[in-house]
Structure 1
Amino acid sequence: MLKDRGVDVIFGIPGVHNQEMYRGIEEAGITHVLARHEQGAGFMADGYTRATGKPGVAYVITGPGLCNIMTPMGQAYSDSVPMLVISSCLDETAAKRGQLHQMKDQEGAARAVCDWSETARTAEAAYGLINRAFQEFGSLRPRPKHIQVPIAALEAIAEPPDQMWAMAEGPVEASYGVGVAVRYLKSSKRPLFIFGGGLWLAAAARDVVTKVGAASFTTYAGRGLIAADDPLHFGAFLARAGSADVIASADCVIAVGTSLSEVDLWRTKLGHRAPMMRVDIDPAVLNDEQGSQVGVLCDASSFMRALARELTEEMFNSNWSHQEVLNAKTKWRAEIDAERPGIVPVAAALKEALPTDTMIYSDMTQFAYAAKEVYPMDRPAHWHHPYGFGTLGYALPAAIGGKIGVGDQPVIAILGDYGFQYTVQELAVAVELGLTLPIIIWDNGKLGEIEDSMVRAQIAPNAVVQRNPDFCKLAEAYGAASAAPTDLAAFQQAIKDALAADGPTIIHVKSDIALK
């Protein structure tokens, strides 16, 4: 049934409790990727999904296996990633104690970090829950689901799924909101769009802002929806304090496919004074603290496609100026360079060295914090980051999953020296599979972001400096290549060499590389 739903890869770790889930995988034509830790398996499934658009699937054991994957499940929930986690569970927990891998409430524990968690006690229930999960992945806000199956049920004989299981159609286009949007825009002189990661259709977004003469922002997750060199595009600078003043100057604000959350804005309010329209597939978003005068419940891409069809350039006369946009972006870029010295030039060097279609996975590291504001993206869904949950150790296993998903397309991972060590063991998977994967380690020898935060709070920095291993020797121990460039030219060459290698390459970069 998973194969019929388009599943080609399962990430996981077998154990005595879930070994029956492995019976028949190869016969079904599904590849299993053996992670080194369930957290890695979850992040691989997440990265695979973000790269391919297909739901990632992970297999884990009862108890600790499920607990270990709950962090990736929480990350997938916060970032709207469709992931299906299937675990085993004990047959009886109320009347028996001291069993292997026993938890008080395994189903409930998983429910805390995913959309829903259910127990399938029969084959028919398992088939129904799988069908429900895939239907919801395609029609509702995509979020992770968990299905657990008792060991006795896994071991039982079962009939194959009924061929009558049908898949629901995708979300319906909400044309009723398009007319309202057109009226808003026709009466506006300073229309502003804010695009988020819930929108994937760059062509429609670019068509609409061009016809309307609208200015635009994107969230971090929405970067690439509008061309970086669009003269009325303010970029991904929503977190800059000055963006609130720009937004306040708009006389029409339309936010599409974004929850405008704390990790998008880093302030309480967006800053708009004009009426705002929200377009989102999640009704909770339309009723959040940011508010909206008009809420349109529908798929963001379908809405933008319909809106583009209704617009003609003759309708509009915007008075946004190219110079005001350029001035704001120049100021914000300078702020970032002052806040995090030495990162902006490295990000520029990285951009020059990478092929245009490279898919990037970043971790919670200062390099990513700066780069995701200034790095110009020419297409959406090509820079993936643990935005909402903010988990360390995300980038390496997620990039492995992404690389498995996209094949020959270039993929890189960017991690801090500390975060890399959360999931370093998954380097063995990249070596084992011969994945061409540059892994950039940004090394400042400390928890730099936490140290800076402590200083701002007038706390004497404590527990923020750690002793690192020799990363190049560590790469050698795993069977990976390595490089330790000391200037930007060598950094760019190391990236190019890594993209031509037959396996993964650790690129160890000291944080002062651009300051020497």
Structure 2
Amino acid sequence: MTTRPLGAQISHMLKDRGVDVIFGIPGVHNQEMYRGIEEAGITHVLARHEQGAGFMADGYARATGKPGVAYVITGPGLCNIMTPMGQAYSDSVPMLVISSCLDETAATRGQLHQMKDQEGAARTVCDWSETARTAEAGYALIDRAMMEFQAKRSRPKHIQVPIATLEGAASDFLRWGTEAPAPEGYYQVKRSPGAIQSIIPLDVVDMIKMRLMMAERPLFVFGGGAAGVGGMQRPITSMLEKCRAASFTTYAGRGLVDPSNSLAFGASLARPESQKIIDASDCVILVGTDLAEVDLWRAEAGQRPGAIWVNTDPEVLARAHPKDYCLQRDATEFISTLELKLDGEPKATWSEEIVAGYKDKWRAEINAERPGIVPVADALKEALPANTMIYSDMTQFAYAAKEVYPMDRPGHWHHPYGFGTLGYALPAAIGGKVGIGDQPCIAILGDYGFQYTVQELAVAVELELTLPIIIWDNGKLGEIEDSMVRAQIAPNAVVQRNPDFCKLAEAYGAAAAAPQDLAAFQHAIKDALKAKGPTIIHVKSDIALHA
């Protein structure tokens, strides 16, 4: 048995459990956690702020499917990463945050980084927050977190360890590669059609099959819970064709349905008319979606009682109508099983022309609501390789592009959907790029949101990441200004003075471009994808007006 300080053992254990990268910032309270990182063979990415470290871990997790891990210090370090933890919770991202904590707080005041209830504070933005007061408790909590990422809905976890415990000698943990094999399915769930059919009762499959094939307007809604499953576009495409069903996706579910599918309404649930379409459907199947406010931007989707919900989260299923049918299974099991069972001639009567008409109308609406964005989104699509990983921020460009940008594969456009924080895209894209290596990756931010986490540009320069960073500049908080006007509030505090973004890039050691028309915009993107290091692409919001 190897005895080391517990702080070092934790890094070795994480490596044994498949962790290759840790994002974080060292401090005097968590320096023991850094004793073992290099020896364990883990890459550490030094963020410039704990918020950046959290978003990097989030972006890494979304890109790779592995848990994103972050190390932070007691008190302010934990507080600074709580926004990324809240974002990861709302978007079901597997993130493990490990922090130090003070040895004792009840009888002592005035200590460095002291909080009244650090564990409780973290618990408000994550799945659970626990204190490991012994090495054995630390090992058990790490394994609990790792296995729960697989066994239930992925959400962030927080483990804190007292400083004296981190410094104390600890016996070795149980290694998966030697004393015990890694649990089946760790990081990748392996299933076969035969095994799947034995999991979901065949009478349930037959009931759903009968309803689908007898329905005149069958409709699927696919959400982010299905998007996290790789390789599902083919069986989904086959399933939709076999029953001639129409479909919507949530923003997080984009790419699950091939955009060339003639009965695909796309990510247009927020369009008011989608409620009428859903209400007219006589068999609605909701796969891996909460139908949350940020999916619909209204109170109800519009489905009639009797809808079929497929979700792993019992909290979601509990909100269903009493006449709905709820199946607590994941998307892989459900889609693969149902697709194999479908046969015969469907009775569906969906019109491809009507679907195309709605899509054209909605595209025109988006172009009218946010003038000048749709042409830029089209130009971006033409310029990017098909497998580009995209990270966007809370910016008007992303709000419009999420509805009109056709995604040909799932899990390749990441956005702070639920918590909705500014400053997400740059550090998340850095984490994503670290995870995917040579695969192309870009970040899209507004001029205001970029300045929330601009300091993380130094990390991209330091790591020489090939990363185009598109800054959409309208010189204001445009979405807030529009909302104030709609509410008949005189716009206030929505216009800010921006820096010279190209000179700012130069100061950090990054490349920069300021294209004046769409052709130059596309050239700038292609050049940035070949550059060694990040490139700021500063785009004024009226660029589409210039020939």
Q: Does 1:194 align with 2:221?
A: yes
Select which of 237, 245, 262 maps to 2:268.
Answer: 237
Q: How many Å separate the matches in 1 of 2:323 and 2:18?
A: 37
* More displaced 10-residue stretch of structure 1: 178-187 or 258-267: 178-187
SS of match in other structure, 2:545: coil
Q: What is the deviation of 1:186? A: 2.6
SS of match in other structure, 1:500: coil
Identity of aligned residues (%): 73
Select which of 167, 181, 184 maps to 2:208.
Answer: 181
Q: How many Å separate the matches in 1 of 2:205 and 2:83?
A: 38
Q: Does 1:380 align with 2:416?
A: no
- Does structure 2 conserve the Cα–Cα contact (< 8 Å) formed by 1:208 and 1:308? yes
Q: In structure 2, what is the equivalent of residue 493 of structure 1?
A: 523
Q: What is the deviation of 1:273? A: 2.3
- Does structure 1 conserve the Cα–Cα contact (< 8 Å) formed by 2:393 and 2:423? yes
C-alpha spacing 1:268/1:454, structure 2 compared with 1 (3 Å): same
C-alpha spacing 1:58/1:165, structure 2 compared with 1 (3 Å): farther
Q: Does 1:17 align with 2:29?
A: yes
Q: What is the deviation of 1:309? A: 1.4
Select which of 318, 330, 335 maps to 1:287.
Answer: 318
Q: In structure 2, what is the equivalent of residue 402 of structure 1?
A: 432
Q: In structure 2, what is the equivalent of residue 513 of structure 1?
A: 543
SS of match in other structure, 2:224: coil
- Does structure 2 conserve the Cα–Cα contact (< 8 Å) formed by 1:250 and 1:274? no
Q: How many Å separate the matches in 2 of 1:197 and 1:290?
A: 21
Q: In structure 2, what is the equivalent of residue 130 of structure 1?
A: 142
CA deviations over 1:3-57 (Å, ceiling 9, x no partner): 1211000000000000000111111111000000000000000000000000000
Equivalent residues in 2 for 1:115-514, closer than 5 Å: 115-163=127-175, 168-169=183-184, 173=196, 174-176=199-201, 177-199=204-226, 200=229, 201-273=232-304, 275-288=306-319, 293-312=324-343, 314-514=344-544
CA deviations over 1:401-436 (Å, ceiling 9, x no partner): 000000000000000000000000000000000000
Q: In structure 1, what is the equivalent of residue 9 of structure 2?
A: none
Q: How many Å separate the matches in 1 of 2:438 and 2:372?
A: 32
Q: How many Å separate the matches in 2 of 1:356 and 1:188?
A: 35
Q: Does 1:42 align with 2:72?
A: no
Letter in 2 for 1:430: A
CA deviations over 1:84-125 (Å, ceiling 9, x no partner): 000000000001100000000000000000000000001100
CA deviations over 1:272-293 (Å, ceiling 9, x no partner): 1262100001001112266761
Q: What is the deviation of 1:255? A: 0.4
C-alpha spacing 1:120/1:408, structure 2 compared with 1 (3 Å): same
Q: How many Å separate the matches in 2 of 1:91 and 1:397?
A: 32
SS of match in other structure, 1:98: coil
Query: 5+ residue gaps in structure 1?
Result: none
Letter in 2 for 1:97: R
Q: Does 1:73 align with 2:85?
A: yes
- Does structure 1 conserve the Cα–Cα contact (< 8 Å) formed by 2:305 and 2:321? no
Q: How many Å separate the matches in 2 of 1:52 and 1:79?
A: 15
Letter in 1 for 2:489: I
Query: 5+ residue gaps in structure 2?
Result: 1-12, 190-194
Q: What is the deviation of 1:66? A: 0.2
SS of match in other structure, 2:266: coil
Q: How many Å separate the matches in 2 of 1:160 and 1:372?
A: 48
C-alpha spacing 1:62/1:219, structure 2 compared with 1 (3 Å): same
Select which of 27, 38, 56 maps to 1:26.
Answer: 38
- Does structure 1 conserve the Cα–Cα contact (< 8 Å) formed by 2:387 and 2:440? yes
SS of match in other structure, 2:247: strand
TM-score by length of 1: 0.98
Q: How many Å separate the matches in 1 of 2:332 and 2:155?
A: 18
- Does structure 2 conserve the Cα–Cα contact (< 8 Å) formed by 1:131 and 1:167? no
Q: What is the deviation of 1:461? A: 0.2
- Does structure 2 conserve the Cα–Cα contact (< 8 Å) formed by 1:110 and 1:117? yes
Letter in 1 for 2:133: R
Letter in 2 for 1:181: I
Q: How many residues are paired up?
A: 515
- Does structure 2 conserve the Cα–Cα contact (< 8 Å) formed by 1:211 and 1:311? yes
Q: How many Å separate the matches in 1 of 2:235 and 2:286?
A: 14
- Does structure 1 conserve the Cα–Cα contact (< 8 Å) formed by 2:214 and 2:347? no
C-alpha spacing 1:198/1:292, structure 2 compared with 1 (3 Å): farther
Q: What is the deviation of 1:515? A: 2.1
Q: In structure 2, what is the equivalent of residue 109 of structure 1?
A: 121
Q: How many Å separate the matches in 1 of 2:378 and 2:137?
A: 52
Q: What is the deviation of 1:305? A: 1.0
CA deviations over 1:131-156 (Å, ceiling 9, x no partner): 00011000100000000000000000
Q: In structure 1, what is the equivalent of residue 8 of structure 2?
A: none
Q: How many Å separate the matches in 1 of 2:149 and 2:379?
A: 38
SS of match in other structure, 1:462: coil
- Does structure 1 conserve the Cα–Cα contact (< 8 Å) formed by 2:305 and 2:323? no
TM-score by length of 2: 0.92
Q: In structure 1, what is the equivalent of residue 5 of structure 2?
A: none
- Does structure 2 conserve the Cα–Cα contact (< 8 Å) formed by 1:251 and 1:274? no
- Does structure 2 conserve the Cα–Cα contact (< 8 Å) formed by 1:253 and 1:274? no
- Does structure 2 conserve the Cα–Cα contact (< 8 Å) formed by 1:269 and 1:290? no
Q: In structure 1, what is the equivalent of residue 6 of structure 2?
A: none
Q: What is the deviation of 1:183? A: 2.5
Q: What is the deviation of 1:301? A: 1.8
